[in-house]
Structure 1
Amino acid sequence: MNGNLARKLDELEAYQVMGTVVHAEPGLFIVRTGRGDMRARRATSCLVEPRIDDFVLVAGAPSGAAWVLAVLTREEGAGASLVCDGDLEIKVPEGRVRVASKEGIDLVSQKDVSVLADGVRVHAATGSVVMDSLSYLGGLVRSEIGKLRHEGGIVERVVERVSERVKRSFRKVEEVDQVKAERIDYSAKQVMSLRAENAIVTAEELVKMDGEQIHLG
C-alpha cells in the first residue's frame, strides 16, 4: 500500500528546467534543455509569447506533458508580445490605469472598439481622423477654433433653426446661388448694394419702392 502511494506521488511530481526555444508554432514550442528537446505548450500564466532563441523556464510532468512558464531572457531590443487565448480583462478596483510609451501607442482591432466613460479628454499637438462613415448623436457641441476650413463635394444640412453672428461675412459662388423661403427679410444699417449685368424683379401682385429719393436710370 505504501509503495503504491509513493509511486503515485512520484508520477504527480513535476519538475522545472531551463532551456532555449529552437522551434515555435501556434500552440507548441520545442525547447532544448539539459534533459533533451522538450515539446511544451505555453502556460496560461505565461502572457509573453515565446520566440525562437528565447531562454525559458519549463515545467514538466513524468507523463511527458510540459509547459513554458516564463520567458527568462530575450535578445535585447527584440520586443515582446502579450498573448492570451480567449477574452482578457484587466481590473483595477481602486486607482488608475496608465499606459505610457515614448514611441507611440497603436490600438488595432478587426472589429469594434468601444469606450465607455463619464468623460473623455484628448490632448495632442496635432490630430487626424480618417473614416469612411461617421455618425454623431448628442445634445450639444461646443467648439472654440481659431481657423476652420471645410473641403468637400456636397454639404447637406437639415435643421430647425440656424443662427449666426459674425463680424464680417464673405461668400463667393461660381455658378448658382438659390434661396427658397416663405419670407425673406434683408436689413442693412447703412447701404445695401445689388450689382448685376442684368437684374430682374418679378412679383405676382405688388412691387413697392419707398424712400425719400428714388433714382431710376
Structure 2
Amino acid sequence: MNVLETDRLPSTATSPGRAAPSTRRERPISATHCVGIITAVDGDQFTIASGTLTGPGRRAVSCLLEPTIGDTVAALIVAPDQLWITAVLQREEGTSHTLRLNGPTCIDTGEAALTVASGSLGFKTAAFVLNTQRAELHSDEAIVMGREFKVIGNTMKLVGAVLNTVFDRVMHYSKQHSRRTEGMDRVSGDYVEVQAKQILRQTGEHVFVNGEKMVKTTGSQIHFG
C-alpha cells in the first residue's frame, strides 16, 4: 500500500484540538403553558387554579404587575409542583395595580427622554436624592412641609409679588446686608434695639424722634447743627 492509498482510508482518530462529534442529542427542559385564576395569596406564594389543577406558584421576575386574588394569569408549568406566573391577563375593574421589583432597580433610557404622565403622582420613600445639572419646577400652588428644611447654594434669588413669613424666632447673619424699599419700610415691636459697633447713621429729609414719656441721649460728646 502506497502513501496515496493510505490517505484514502477513512480515519477514526480526531486531530489535536478538535472535539469528537457527539452522538447524544441535547434536550431542553420541557414546560407547559396554562391559564388559571389566583385563589389565594400568602406573601410571595400564590395558589393557582387551572381546570382540575390547583397548586402553588411564584411570580416570574419579568411579571412586574403583582398578582392578586381573582386575577386571570398565564402560568408556566415546569414541574408538577413548580408553577411560574408570567403575566396577568385580566383583573377586576377597580382593583389597584402594584408594580413590584425585588432588589435594586435602575431605569436606563440612555440619551432618550423619560416622561411620566399621571393625574396624581406620589412618592413614599425613606430617602429621596436628586442629582441633576438643572432642575425646574412649574406649579400653580406648591407646599413644602417638614420638620427641618435647609437650602444651601452659592446664589439664591426669590422673585414674587407677595412674601409672607411667620416664625417664632429668626436669626440672620451676613457679612454685608443691603436692603432697598421704594415704598414704606416699617418695623414695629414691643422692644426694638439697633446696635452698631462703630457708626450708626440715620439720614432723611425729615427725621422725627418721638418719645411719649422720655427722650434720652447720652454720649461723651453731643453735637447739634
TM range (shorter): 0.7 to 0.9
Q: How does 1:71-86 map to 2 (within 5 A)?
A: 71-86=88-103
Q: Which runs of 4+ in 1 moved over 3 A?
A: none
Q: Distance in 1 between matches of 2:81 and 2:42?
A: 19
Which residue number in structure 2 is paired with residue 69 of structure 1? 86
**Match for 2:74: what amino acid?**
L
Q: Distance in 1 between matches of 2:52 and 2:58?
A: 17
Q: Taking structure 2 as the reference length, what is the TM-score of the superposition? A: 0.84
Which residue number in structure 2 is paired with residue 36 of structure 1? 53
**Match for 2:145: what amino acid?**
V
**Match for 1:75: what amino acid?**
E
Identity %: 21
Q: Which runs of 5+ in 1 are unaligned?
A: 211-217
Which residue number in structure 1 is paired with residue 123 of structure 2? 107
Which residue number in structure 2 is paired with residue 215 of structure 1? none
Number of residue equivalences = 200
**Match for 2:218: what amino acid?**
T
Which residue number in structure 2 is paired with residue 20 of structure 1? 37
Q: Distance in 1 between matches of 2:110 and 2:55?
A: 40
Which residue number in structure 1 is paired with residue 193 of structure 2? 178
Cα deviation 1:1-42 (Å, max 9, x = unaligned): xxxx89x948x2011100000001211000110241121011
Q: How does 1:30-179 map to 2 (within 5 A)?
A: 30-62=47-79, 64-102=81-119, 104-109=120-125, 111-179=126-194
Q: Taking structure 1 as the reference length, what is the TM-score of the superposition? A: 0.87
Cα deviation 1:162-198 (Å, max 9, x = unaligned): 101111233242311011112101111x211111111
* Deviation, structure 1 residue 135: 1.6
**Match for 1:151: what amino acid?**
V
* Deviation, structure 1 residue 144: 1.2
Larger CA Rg, structure 1 vs 2: 2
Q: Distance in 2 between matches of 1:35 and 1:141?
A: 69
Cα deviation 1:127-185 (Å, max 9, x = unaligned): 10001011221111112110000111000011101101111233242311011112101
Cα deviation 1:40-61 (Å, max 9, x = unaligned): 0110111100000000011111
**Match for 1:149: what amino acid?**
N
Secondary structure at 1:138's aligned position in 2? coil
Q: Distance in 2 between matches of 1:62 and 1:139?
A: 63
Q: Which runs of 5+ in 2 are unaligned?
A: 1-23
Q: Distance in 1 between matches of 2:111 and 2:78?
A: 39
Q: Distance in 2 between matches of 1:30 and 1:170?
A: 73
Which residue number in structure 1 is paired with residue 218 of structure 2? 202
